[in-house]
């Protein structure tokens, strides 16, 4: 793929990329801590992943292989659009195969396949502040983070249990990173939270509109908040994928008619397609034998 | 049962872009709008896009308006996305608006004043009657009468300066520090006044108008007067480090508004007037005035006034004024959220199941 020479490699100028890399280094050094950075205006709208795009632009090299997913899928319009953007301004190779990618930019999901030390997972983050629904003032949340004063969040979870019998947060489920900072995992389903814990891949988080970067270095402890008598319990639809039969992947519910018909399919399209291909190969082998 | 893929793809995007281009052009039988026509005849739209796009370039702003089909927020967004790719040479010296070549200058606090009142090209005293003659292309209007040379040469000191000399206007303190650059550094709180003003100058006209209006209606105790509004061209100067002295790099049109507000005084300060300040690129009087009202409201904290109204709440105002940020986050709700919604579905079903299992059998509705 030939890149558009009218723009610097990966769109941003080198000084801007250096500024973002400095913020990333600080973020890696203080796991889970939100580092303010001079987010730039990007040619895609805020909310479409400008933070993730800037982080990707800052870490992308000419030899990288990029995968972009939205809701777990490579073919959602926003993922297509971001992949095209980097195709044009960086000319890097892109892929839909999780295993082949060196950088994966994601919105709302963590791939089902386990990631490796050779990979970087870049999250698009709408609201980096995990406490924002409880305390909207940044000056105040900054103080709370400084003092590790997270009682407010525990009280909120306790009130959930008192009212509903269980914690009613199903995505953007808050986590403690390395036992120190409360962090928003971005709006991934709580189902994905356990994958963040001690993940071999570097996890980077970019929030463009809110101008914050944070990170979870490889093999760092990430614990979803819970109570001894109410342990963390991720949810998934109690069904299997209609296409590949998976009973362990996160499922999207697809409404098929207006009479209550519905089916479940894997949200991670690469995972699902790989399983289907493997099954076909197995079947072919079986028939040949 | 067919599984219909609701996830979009390459082809859908391509087709949508083609359709957009077609609707932008409209009926090909109607002659195409030229960028120069937008620059000349939709000048106030161009000014607004330059202001909210934080980029003084009439041609680019006009192009952005054409490309966005007249959606001015979209146009400001296009301009900002372009601006972000430009290298930063340095920072200009503060504009000297006292030395402005004035096209319009009005004060509501003084009937007459040194330099005089100059109405300029304003809608203020027009009757808002649709002019059907404009619907038919016609001859250009007769040229406006020339202004007497006296008004142009006369020195027009700023009204707030007149009050300051009498000791009635609170002196602004020079913080003696480089102003922040919001396009390079994130906001932090509490914000310096220069940072607040920068944010408001880039902010959405409608948002600031509503907030400014609310201060007049009792939400944030303010008693404003238009000390002065002036419009005209000012010289932009830059001191390149390698030269070490100031050089003029061009002229731009700006609108400046200084609101005069009463202040009852505090333990440390006597009763006096305080000022709210507004400055926008081009002609944007409504925005400059709104900005000045909100600027003054945000000074409540420093002046020891009660902070009770939304317009006085620094974080609320500054974090929600930027229309490119706001439109992005509001409109992103149309992006797919099925992963999150799926987990919400599961939790709502679980909660309903819990409620149903806890309910007494006789209380269960049939």
Q: Is B336 on the interface with A (CB under 8 A)?
A: yes
Give the integer Cα–Cα distance in Å for B290 and B269.
26
Please give the C-alpha separations between residue B166 and each of B96, B105, B263, in angstroms, as whole numbers. Answer: 22, 22, 16
Among the listed residues B54, B25, B17, B79, the one whose alpha carbon sits nearest the alpha carbon of residue B201: B54
Q: Which residues contact B215 (CB under 8 A, 6 or more apart)?
A: B221, B222, B224, B293, B294, B296, B297, B309, B311
Is residue B82 classed as helix, strand or coil in its secondary structure? helix
DSSP 8-state code for residue A219: T
Q: Which residues of A touch B342 (CB under 8 A)?
A: 189, 237, 250-253, 267
Q: Which residues contact A69 (CB under 8 A, 6 or more apart)?
A: A76, A79, A104, A105, A106, A107, A109, A111, A268, A269, A270
| H/E run at residue A253 | strand A251-255
DSSP 8-state code for residue A100: G
B268 contacts B185 by C-beta, under 8 angstroms: no
Using 50 as the pLDDT threshold, list the residues of chain B that sit under it: 1, 4, 6, 364, 366
For residue B114, with 0-12 CB atoms within 10 Å meaning exposed, 13-18 middle and 19 or more buried, which class applies? exposed
Half-sphere CA count of B54, side-chain side, radius 13 A: 24
Give the integer Cα–Cα distance in Å for A114 and A200.
9
Give the integer Cα–Cα distance in Å for A169 and B343.
9
Q: Taking residues A52-79, what's their average pLDDT?
A: 95
Q: Which residue blocks in B68-204 are alpha helix, DSSP H?
A: 72-83, 149-153, 159-165, 193-202
Tell me: the pLDDT tens digits for A187-204?
999 999 999 999 999 999
- Asked if pLDDT for residue A179 goes beyond 70, the answer is yes
State the best of B189, B333, B339 to mutate against chain A, taking most chain A CBs within 10 Å: B339
Closest CB to B328: pick one of A45, A75, A107.
A45
Closest CB to B331: pick one of A47, A72, A209.
A47
In the numeric block, the tokens 């919105």 are attached to A107
Closest CB to A261: pick one of B1, B187, B338.
B1
Give the integer Cα–Cα distance in Å for B326 and B7.
26
Q: Which residues contact A96 (CB under 8 A, 6 or more apart)?
A: A67, A74, A75, A269, A270
Q: Please give the interface size between A and B, counted as residue pairs whose CB atoms are below 8 Å apart.
A: 160
Please give the C-alpha separations between residue B203 and each of A152, A250, B53, B319, in angstroms, as whole numbers. Answer: 33, 41, 9, 10
**Per-residue b/e over B189-214, b at no fewer than 16 CB within 10 Å?**
eebebebbbbbbbbbbbebbbebbeb
Q: Which residues of A touch B12 (CB under 8 A)?
A: 77
Q: Which residues of A touch B2 (CB under 8 A)?
A: 256
B66 contacts B38 by C-beta, under 8 angstroms: yes
φ/ψ of A242, rounded to 5, equals -65, -25
pLDDT at B1: 42
Q: What is the ipTM of this complex?
A: 0.75
Give the integer Cα–Cα distance in Å for A145 and A139.
10
B33 contacts B66 by C-beta, under 8 angstroms: yes
**Per-residue b/e over A257-287, b at no fewer than 16 CB within 10 Å?**
eeeeeebbbbbbbbbbbbbeeeeeeeeeeee
| H/E run at residue B238 | strand B224-238
Give the integer Cα–Cα distance in Å for A199 and A218.
6
pLDDT at A68: 97
Give the integer Cα–Cα distance in Å for B156 and B287.
23
Answer whether the bond into residue B188 is a cis peptide, omega within 30°: no
pLDDT at B153: 55
Range ranked top by mean pLDDT from A36-50, A213-227, B74-88, B125-139? A213-227
Closest CB to A13: pick one of B80, B87, B336.
B87
Q: Which residues face B9 on adjacent strands?
A: none
φ/ψ of A206, rounded to 5, equals -125, 125
Give the integer Cα–Cα distance in Å for A74 and A252.
14
- Please give the model's pTM, rounded to 2 decimal places: 0.84
Q: How close B314 comes to chain A (CA, Å)?
A: 10
Give the integer Cα–Cα distance in Å for A214 and A183.
9
State the best of A47, A81, A142 to mutate against chain B, taking most chain B CBs within 10 Å: A47
- Asked if pLDDT for residue A90 goes beyond 50, the answer is yes
* Tokens representing residue A68 in the block: 């972009």
| H/E run at residue B228 | strand B224-238
Give the integer Cα–Cα distance in Å for A124 and A186.
7
Is residue A105 classed as helix, strand or coil in its secondary structure? strand
CA of A143: which chain B residue's CA is closest?
Answer: B189
| H/E run at residue A152 | helix A151-164
- CA angle A237/A242/A243 to nearest 5° reads 125
Scan residues 162-221 of B and list those with Cβ closer than 8 Å to A: 183-190
Choose the weakest-confidence range: A70-79, A98-107, A265-274, B220-229.
Answer: B220-229
B199 contacts B322 by C-beta, under 8 angstroms: yes
In the numeric block, the tokens 């919001």 are attached to B182
pLDDT at B170: 86
φ/ψ of B31, rounded to 5, equals -65, 145
């Amino acid at each position: 793929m030939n890149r558009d020479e009218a723009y610097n490699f990966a769109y941003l100028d080198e000084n801007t990329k250096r500024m973002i890399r400095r913020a990333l280094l600080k973020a890696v050094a203080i796991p889970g801590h939100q580092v303010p950075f001079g987010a730039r205006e990007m040619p895609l709208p805020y909310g479409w992943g400008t933070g993730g795009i800037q982080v990707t632009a800052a870490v992308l090299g000419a030899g990288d292989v990029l995968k972009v997913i939205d809701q777990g899928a490579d073919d959602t319009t926003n993922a297509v659009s971001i992949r095209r953007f980097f195709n044009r301004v960086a000319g890097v190779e892109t892929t839909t195969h999780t295993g082949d990618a060196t950088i994966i930019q994601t919105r709302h999901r963590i791939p089902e396949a386990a990631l490796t030390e050779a990979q970087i997972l870049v999250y698009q983050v709408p609201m980096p502040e995990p406490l924002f629904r409880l305390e909207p003032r940044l000056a105040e949340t900054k103080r709370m983070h400084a003092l590790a004063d997270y009682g407010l969040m525990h009280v909120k979870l306790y009130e959930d249990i008192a009212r509903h019998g269980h914690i009613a947060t199903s995505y953007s489920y808050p986590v403690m990173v390395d036992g120190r900072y409360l962090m928003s995992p971005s709006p991934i389903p709580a189902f994905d939270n356990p994958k963040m814990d001690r993940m071999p891949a570097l996890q980077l988080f970019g929030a463009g509109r809110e101008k914050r970067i944070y990170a979870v270095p490889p093999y760092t402890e990430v614990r979803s908040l819970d109570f001894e008598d109410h342990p963390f319990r991720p949810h998934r639809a109690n069904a299997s994928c209609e296409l590949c039969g998976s009973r362990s992947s996160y499922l999207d519910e697809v409404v098929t008619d207006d009479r209550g018909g519905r089916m479940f399919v894997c949200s991670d399209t690469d995972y699902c397609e790989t399983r289907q291909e493997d099954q076909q190969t197995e079947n072919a082998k079986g028939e040949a034998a | 049962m067919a599984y219909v893929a609701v996830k979009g793809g390459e082809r859908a995007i391509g087709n949508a872009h083609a359709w957009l281009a077609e609707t932008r052009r409209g009926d090909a039988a109607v002659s195409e709008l030229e960028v120069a026509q937008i620059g000349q005849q939709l000048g106030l739209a161009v000014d607004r896009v330059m202001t909210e796009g934080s980029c003084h370039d009439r041609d680019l702003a006009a192009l952005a308006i054409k490309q966005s089909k007249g959606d001015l927020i979209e146009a400001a967004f296009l301009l900002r996305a372009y601006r972000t790719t430009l290298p930063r040479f340095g920072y200009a010296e503060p504009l000297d608006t006292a030395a402005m070549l004035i096209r319009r200058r009005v004060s509501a606090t003084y009937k007459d004043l040194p330099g005089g009142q100059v109405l300029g090209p304003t809608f203020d005293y027009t009757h808002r009657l649709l002019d059907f003659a404009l619907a038919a292309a016609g001859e250009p209007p007769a040229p406006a009468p020339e202004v007497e040379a006296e008004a142009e040469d006369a020195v027009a000191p700023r009204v707030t300066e007149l009050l300051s000399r009498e000791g009635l206007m609170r002196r602004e303190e020079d913080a003696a520090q480089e102003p922040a650059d919001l396009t390079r550094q994130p906001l932090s709180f509490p914000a310096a006044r220069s940072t607040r003003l920068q944010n408001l100058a880039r902010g959405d006209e409608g948002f600031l108008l509503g907030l400014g209006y609310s201060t007049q209606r009792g939400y944030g105790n303010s008693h404003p007067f238009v000390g002065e509004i002036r419009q005209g061209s000012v010289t932009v100067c830059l001191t390149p480090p390698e030269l070490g002295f100031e050089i003029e790099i061009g002229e731009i049109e700006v609108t400046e508004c200084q609101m005069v507000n009463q202040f009852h005084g505090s333990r440390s300060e006597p009763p006096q007037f305080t000022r709210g300040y507004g400055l926008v690129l081009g002609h944007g009087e409504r925005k400059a005035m709104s900005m000045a009202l909100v600027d003054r409201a945000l000074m409540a904290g420093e002046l020891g006034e009660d902070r009770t109204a939304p317009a006085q709440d620094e974080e609320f105002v500054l974090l929600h004024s930027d229309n490119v940020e706001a439109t992005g986050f509001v409109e992103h709700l149309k992006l797919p959220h099925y992963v999150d919604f799926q987990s919400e579905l599961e939790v709502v079903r679980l909660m309903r199941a819990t409620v149903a299992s806890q309910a007494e059998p006789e209380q269960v509705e049939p």
